Amino acid sequence: MDITFIPEKARLLERLKAGHFNVPDFIYVPASDFKNRKFEALETFLEKHRENFKVIARSAHPQEEFFKGGTFESLETYADTGGIEYARKRMVKFPGTVKRLSILRQQKFNNAPRIDPEEMGVIVMPFIEGTSVMAKMLENQWEFGYSPGNQKVQKAPYITRTPHDRTLIQLSEDIQKHLGFRCEIEYIISENNEIHVVQAKDISKIDILELTAIKRSIFLDGIRRIRKRRNYRERPIFLMNKKNLYLDVINKCEDMIHGCEGKAPDIEDILEVITEYETRLEDFSLKNQRFAVIEITVRDPHELYQIANHYLDEIPDLQKQLSMALHDNLYKIDYFLGEADTFIAKEKLTVNLCTHDAYGIDTVRNPLWSVYWHVDKHDKILRDFKRLGFKTEDTVGIEIGAEEKPIIYRL
């Protein structure tokens, strides 16, 4: 196969392996091999690593380099062809489900190309237990993002410019010099502290504020100002109140079962409530490249979810449709939240971050903010939001003070 048809991920790994860097043994399996069931090379590779029982299958779509890191899937799977086929089926499915909204937004805001998921190739590597580390150079200094592996006492992801092993700095320098462009490098640090290079991505064309600010700046001699701005951002907001969604569903169910003035709703009318909500989520996210979500649910929505989910239990066929729609809605809300870069909610909200979400190159200019209030102030804060008239599509300013205390302004 001509090298221009090999995805960037596989192409750069091959260059690093040829440069004698510690790249784990790997094989690139193109989509055509899955289509034609041409697995001889894959089976030979897996036979060498059968003792590990499992491998890591990494996405390798021909156009993957035009999308931000983490858009496509990597999965642990069994070290046999069945396991690899299963992993690829998941990778092919995800662009139309889990990653559909993310891909649509990148195509609209970042000019990412249209893709055919069936062209998905796969890179197969032995599975290495350990810590994932993402490295890239910012402001002429290397930054390292750590994502600890499966540990009994789980540590949160963190960023540092002083890695646990100084070897990482020189190794990153050597890799970038060898490839000849600015790159983002992913390592796996095994349990015996061996450093494995598992991915490199060309980031030379990505505009990073820290890298261009000096070129576009004029240095003067002083400033006089009345108001100081410290950390500040402005975002359009989406007010998320799942309580209202579930109450709307419950009310429609009541009207269908017990009757109402005018024509009683049917199951299609009930499902339409859910569909319209999902459409609002998607339309908002495709309208705003960067946005914040404010969680203003007053009551625990889980209780209302269960009431809505079981309201039609006496009509099993209809209940099954409603239950499936509500279940799918939970995932679509998660996909929507995954596209936000600012969360404003009570402190119990947690955001699970993968390596790319936490400190990938695309988060440098717009890092994730999670602004919160204490649970015991919840009712008061919600009254304040209502008093000030916050609503979806408003723009808010968030200012972080000297003591890391956030202030939210409705602009």
Phi-psi region of 269 (alpha: psi -120 to 50; beta: other; left: phi over 0): alpha
| Three-state SS at 144 | strand
Report if residue 348 sits inside a domain. yes
345 in the same domain as 237 = yes
| Element at 140 (helix H, strand E) | none
Report if residue 225 sits inside a domain. no
272 in the same domain as 170 = no
* Predicted pLDDT of residue 37: 95
d(CA 171, CA 109): 34
**CA-wise closest residue to 274 among 302, 295, 296, 253:** 253
Report if residue 226 sits inside a domain. no
132 in the same domain as 184 = yes
Give the contacts of 293 (CB within 8 A, at least 6 positions apart).
237, 238, 240, 336, 337, 340, 342, 343, 344, 345
Please identify which residue in the block is written with the tokens 């008239």: 389
Report if residue 317 sits inside a domain. yes
**CA-wise closest residue to 331 among 23, 88, 99, 49:** 99
380 in the same domain as 238 = yes
Order of strands across the sheet with 27-29? Answer: 27-29, 121-126, 54-60, 74-78
Per-residue pLDDT of the chain (411 residues; tens, 9 = 90+): 344 479 999 999 999 999 999 999 999 999 999 999 999 999 999 999 888 789 999 999 999 999 998 899 899 999 999 999 999 999 999 999 999 999 999 999 999 999 999 999 999 999 999 999 999 998 789 999 998 765 544 567 888 999 989 999 999 999 999 999 999 999 999 989 999 999 999 998 886 655 554 454 444 444 444 444 447 889 999 999 888 999 999 999 999 988 888 888 999 999 999 999 999 999 999 999 999 999 887 556 788 889 999 999 999 999 999 999 999 999 999 999 989 998 888 876 666 666 676 667 777 777 888 888 888 888 888 888 888 888 999 999 888 876 778 888 888
Structure tokens at 367: 């890092």
Report if residue 224 sits inside a domain. no
Alpha helix stretches (DSSP H) within 228-266: 242-258
Report if residue 330 sits inside a domain. yes
Q: Which of 194, 219, 244 is a domain's end point? A: 219
Q: Which of 110, 127, 144 is a domain's end point? A: 127
133 in the same domain as 106 = no
First to last CA, the chain: 56
Structure tokens at 352: 């699970």
Name the domain count of the chain.
Answer: 3
Report if residue 213 sits inside a domain. yes
d(CA 208, CA 9): 22
308 in the same domain as 170 = no
CB 263 within 8 A of CB 83: no
Alpha helix stretches (DSSP H) within 152-241: 167-179, 209-212
Task: Say what the alpha-carbon torsion angle 293, 297, 303, 309 is, to the nearest 10 degrees.
Answer: -60
Report if residue 396 sits inside a domain. yes
Give the contacts of 278 (CB within 8 A, at least 6 positions apart).
329, 332
Q: Read off the DSSP letter of residue 156.
A: P
**CA-wise closest residue to 5 among 59, 45, 61:** 61
d(CA 225, CA 206): 34
**Which residues span the domain enclosing 320?**
231-410
CB 40 within 8 A of CB 81: no
Rounded (5°) CA angle 236-237-242: 160
270 in the same domain as 305 = yes
388 in the same domain as 273 = yes
| pTM: predicted TM-score of the whole model, two decimal places | 0.79
133 in the same domain as 39 = no
241 in the same domain as 197 = no
Structure tokens at 310: 């079981």
302 in the same domain as 196 = no
CATH code: domain of residue 205: 3.30.470
159 in the same domain as 112 = no
CB 400 within 8 A of CB 408: no
Q: Which of 193, 219, 245 is a domain's end point? A: 219
